[in-house]
Amino acid sequence: MRIIGLTGGIATGKSTVSNLFKANAFPVVDADIIARDVLKKGTGGWRKVIATFGEDILLENREVDRAKLGQIVFGDPSKRQLLNSLLGPYISYGIFWEVFKLWLKGFKIIILDIPLLFEAKMDRWTNPTIVVWIDPETQLKRLMARDRTSAQDAQNRINAQMPLDMKRSKADIVIDNNGSLEDLNENFKKILDQVTKPLTWTEFWLSRQGAIVAFISILAGVIGCKKLLARL
């Protein structure tokens, strides 16, 4: 199985690209959806967040007021780190579980759409890693238009993530999304074959997954040999 990482900055077009993957019958695990689920009323994440941020962040129906929590954490790095540390374990577990279910269903290639792939160091598990990139002016413009927010709020959200150029430098593949949606479609077609071609054996053994399989096989071999020797 192969996990393709799809990341980028806020509003650079990850969901738009993940929709193109879905249209080509690839399964997509969306970390934003998982992050929403783990904050729903009654969940462990919900309880922890209330215990830390107080009941003031709740709406009348006792769901978390996402806009209010967003205002708090995107304007204050220490509060954002606190929220990340509360929800991070639940999100990681949710991602693992979704990937595992798709693997059980027999999918060989899974797309992981996750804004904080590099920040959470999850790029260890993805191959290749695709970064959807746009220039800073376009990013600010698209974010403000989509979320109908002020320039200040939008900039706070952009600043909450690793600089986009740094993400770009860490990518295996960069999708330039500065152009129109038609241009994006064309760019996507160009990379589709490249990213979905099966790994060669050499690429597999050189990858982290290959190293883990090798390690487990050696460990199982050593344990097996020890048991065999003990019986002799």
Ligand X SMILES: Nc1ncnc2c1ncn2[C@@H]1O[C@H](COP(=O)(O)OP(=O)(O)OP(=O)(O)O)[C@@H](O)[C@H]1O
Ligand Y SMILES: CC(C)(COP(=O)(O)OP(=O)(O)OC[C@H]1O[C@@H](n2cnc3c(N)ncnc32)[C@H](O)[C@@H]1O)[C@@H](O)C(=O)NCCC(=O)NCCS
Q: Are strands 129-133 and 109-113 parallel, antiparallel or unpaired?
A: unpaired
Candidates 63-71, 169-177, 182-190, 216-224; binding stretch for ligand Y (CB under 6 A): 63-71
Closest residue to ligand X, judged by C-beta, is 15
Q: Is 131 in the site for ligand Y (CB under 6 A)?
A: no
**Is residue 167 within the footprint of ligand X (CB under 6 A)?**
no
Q: Is 177 in the site for ligand X (CB under 6 A)?
A: yes
Residue 207 in contact with ligand Y, rule: CB under 6 A: no
Q: Based on CB atoms, which residue is closest to ligand X, 86 or 143?
A: 143
Residues 39-58 that bind ligand Y (CB under 6 A): 39
| Residue 12 sits in the site that holds ligand X (CB under 6 A) | yes
Which residue type is seen at 144?
M
The contact mask relative to ligand Y for 66-85 (x = CB under 6 A, - = no) is xx-xx--x------x--xx-
Shortest distance in whole angstroms from residue 207 CB to ligand X: 26
DSSP secondary structure string, the chain? -EEEEEEESTTSSHHHHHHHHHHTT--EEEHHHHHHHTTSTTSHHHHHHHHHH-GGGB-TTSSB-HHHHHHHHHT-HHHHHHHHHHHHHHHHHHHHHHHHHHHHTT-SEEEEE-TTTTTTTGGGG-SSEEEEE--HHHHHHHHHHHHT--HHHHHHHHHTS--HHHHHHH-SEEEE-SS-HHHHHHHHHHHHHHHHSPPPHHHHHHSHHHHHHHHHHHHHHHHHHHHHHHH-
Nearer to ligand X, 45 or 115 (CB): 115
8 interface partner picked from ligand Y, ligand X, none, CB below 5 to 8 A per type: ligand X
SS3 180: coil
Q: With CB under 6 A, what is the number of residues at the site for ligand Y?
A: 21
- One symbol per residue from 161 to 190: x for binding ligand Y (CB under 6 A), - otherwise; what is it? x-----------------------------
Q: How crowded is the C-beta side of 105, counted as CA atoms within 13 Å?
A: 11
From 22, 79, 80, 142, residue interacting with ligand X (rule: CB under 6 A): 142
Q: Which does 114 bind (CB under 5 to 8 A by kind): ligand X, ligand Y, none?
A: ligand Y
Closest CA to 13 of 136, 134, 164, 172: 134
Closer to ligand X by CB, 94 or 115: give it: 115
Site for ligand X, rule CB under 6 A: 8, 10-16, 32, 115, 142, 146, 177, 179-181, 184
